[in-house]
């Protein structure tokens, strides 16, 4: 860690904005645990972890297509329904529309990674903390009791009309929070999200839980840390 960069961030950052799915809450682990008995009940003998990976990748691709086509924003929930149905067909699993809706609703009940809440409590003493999520407003509201932390704001990309990493989503977050982009540290477990925020002009922190290279992009993160505990150690002097 470059000490000068850490000190600069502590001096100039006033607000931390977090991605929710996969950064605050354990999306892969939580969904895998939830779908395992469901898939077993369907008689499917494949790997539940892989099923969730297919689901998430399909959802991501469809949401990017939605933003790029720019013909009106489709809700996260609706794209989720399409993605799950697609993966069910790919896996050869018979399903009902009620089952698809139930699976997507599991996202609202995901729990934070183990170290997240303690780190957020440390950070809130020094910064404003907000969520910027691709999730729909009602999904973010439903998730509140399962996360168990009161953020200063929860912002859905629905307000911008595009999914992240479209620049309008980060612009909308700054507008809602009344802050300049350069005073925001955007925190995500996803390289694409950090790239979008950095390209817009925010500072960025990449939560590298999976120990993977960030990639060759001109929009490198200001910080790379292994988890939220490490983020708190850097940002709380």
Query: Which of these three, 52, 86, 108, is where a domain ends?
Result: 108
Query: Which of these three, 89, 108, 127, is where a domain ends?
Result: 108
Query: Which of these three, 40, 75, 108, is where a domain ends?
Result: 108
Residues 193 and 221 in one domain: yes
Provide CB contacts within 8 A for 194, sequence distance 6+: 186, 188, 204, 205, 206, 214, 219, 221
Number of domain units in the chain: 2
- pLDDT per position as a tens digit, 34-71: 999 999 999 999 999 999 999 999 999 999 999 999 99
Domain coverage including residue 34? 28-108
Residues 132 and 208 in one domain: yes
Tokens of 60: 């991501």
Q: Model pTM?
A: 0.96
Cis status, amide bond into 189, omega within 30 of 0: no
Tokens of 34: 């939830």
> Largest alpha-carbon pair distance within the chain?
56
- CATH number of domain containing 175: 3.40.50.1000
- pLDDT per position as a tens digit, 136-180: 999 999 999 999 999 999 999 999 999 999 999 999 999 999 999
């Amino acid at each position: 860690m470059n000490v000068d960069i850490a000190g600069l961030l502590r001096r100039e950052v006033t607000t931390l904005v977090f991605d929710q799915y996969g950064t605050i809450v354990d999306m892969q682990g939580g969904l895998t645990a939830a779908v395992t008995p469901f898939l077993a009940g369907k008689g499917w003998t494949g790997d539940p972890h892989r099923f969730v990976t297919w689901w998430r990748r399909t959802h991501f691709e469809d949401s990017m297509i939605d933003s790029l086509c720019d013909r009106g924003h489709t809700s996260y929930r609706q794209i989720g329904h399409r993605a799950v149905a697609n993966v069910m067909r790919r896996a050869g699993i018979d399903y009902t529309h009620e089952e698809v809706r139930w699976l997507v609703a599991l996202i609202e009940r995901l729990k934070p990674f183990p170290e997240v809440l303690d780190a957020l409590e440390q950070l809130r003493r020094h910064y404003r903390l907000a969520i910027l999520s691709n999730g729909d407003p009602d999904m973010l509201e439903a998730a509140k009791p399962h996360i168990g932390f009161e953020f200063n704001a929860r912002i859905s990309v629905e307000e911008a009309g595009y999914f992240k990493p479209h620049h309008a989503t980060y612009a909308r977050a700054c507008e809602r929070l009344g802050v300049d982009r350069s005073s925001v540290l955007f925190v995500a477990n996803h390289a694409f999200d950090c790239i979008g925020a950095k390209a817009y002009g925010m500072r960025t922190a990449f939560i590298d839980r999976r120990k993977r290279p960030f990639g060759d992009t001109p929009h490198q993160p200001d910080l790379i840390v292994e988890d939220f505990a490490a983020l708190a150690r850097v940002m709380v002097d």
